[in-house]
Amino acid sequence: MKASDLFVKCLENEGVKYIFGIPGEENTDFVDSLIGSDIELILVHHEQAAAFMADVYGRLTGKPGICLATLGPGATNLLTGIGDAYLDHAPVVAITGQAGLERIHKESHQYVDIIGVFEKVTKWNQQIRVAHTIPEIVRKAFKKAVLEKPGAVHIELPEDIAMEETEGKPLPVTPNPASSPTKSEIIKAAMAINRAKKPIILAGNGVIRDRATDALREFAEAKNIPVVNTFMAKGVLPSNHPLTLYTVGMQAKDYVLCGFDQADLIITAGYDFVEYLPKYWNDEAMNPIIHIDSLPAEVDAYYPLEAELVGNVKEGLEALSPLVEGKELWPGVKKLKAQLVEKLHALDELSGSPVKPQRIIADLKKAEKGEAIIISDVGAHKLWIARLYQPEKPNHTIISNGWASMGIAVPGAIAAKLAFPEKPVVAVTGDGGFLMNGVELATAKRLGLAFVVVIFHDSKFGLIEWKQLNKFNRSSDITFTDPDFLEFAKSFGVTGVKVTHSDELLPALEKAIASQEIVLIDVDVDYSENVKLSKTLGDYICRL
pLDDT tens-digit map of 515-538: 999 999 999 999 888 777 776 765
- pLDDT score recorded for residue 110: 64
- pLDDT score recorded for residue 396: 97
Band the pLDDT of 330: cuts 50, 70, 90: confident
Sheet containing strand 425-430, strands side by side: 397-399, 373-376, 425-430, 452-457, 519-524, 495-499
Q: Each residue of 175-218: pLDDT tens digit?
A: 988 888 999 999 999 999 999 999 999 999 999 999 999 999 99
Inform me whether the pLDDT recorded for 166 exceeds 90. Answer: yes
Architecture of domain 183-339: 3-Layer(aba) Sandwich (3.40)
High-pLDDT (> 70) share of the chain, %:
95
Q: Tell me whether the omega of the peptide bond preceding residue 149 falls within 30 degrees of 0, making it cis.
A: yes
Fold observed for domain 345-536: Rossmann fold (3.40.50)
Rounded to whole angstroms, the Cα distance separating 428 from 367 reads 14
Rounded to whole angstroms, the Cα distance separating 123 from 144 reads 7
| Strand, coil or helix: 460 | strand
Phi, psi of 126 (to 5 degrees): -140, 135
- Give, in order, the Cα–Cα distances in Å from 91 to each of 406, 484, 531: 20, 37, 37
Inform me whether the pLDDT recorded for 116 exceeds 70. Answer: yes
Band the pLDDT of 469: cuts 50, 70, 90: confident
Band the pLDDT of 332: cuts 50, 70, 90: confident
| Strand, coil or helix: 61 | helix
CATH code matching the domain that covers 3-162, chosen among 3.40.50.300, 3.40.50.970, 3.60.70.12, 3.40.50.2300: 3.40.50.970
High-pLDDT (> 90) share of the chain, %:
78
Phi, psi of 525 (to 5 degrees): -110, 145
Rounded to a whole number, what is the distance in angstroms from the first to the last CA of the chain?
A: 71
- pLDDT score recorded for residue 309: 97
Rounded to whole angstroms, the Cα distance separating 178 from 319 reads 15
Name the residue ranges covered by the structural domains of the chain.
Answer: 3-162, 183-339, 345-536
Q: Each residue of 210-242: pLDDT tens digit?
A: 999 999 999 999 999 999 999 999 999 999 999
- pLDDT score recorded for residue 252: 63
- pLDDT score recorded for residue 538: 59
- Length reported for the chain: 544
Q: Each residue of 394-428: pLDDT tens digit?
A: 999 999 998 889 999 999 999 999 999 999 999 99
Question: In the chain, what are the helix, strand and coil shares in percent, each to the nearest 5?
Answer: 45, 15, 40
Backbone angle region of 126, left / alpha / beta, with phi > 0 → left and psi within -120 to 50 → alpha: beta
| Beta-bridge partners for 375 | 398, 427
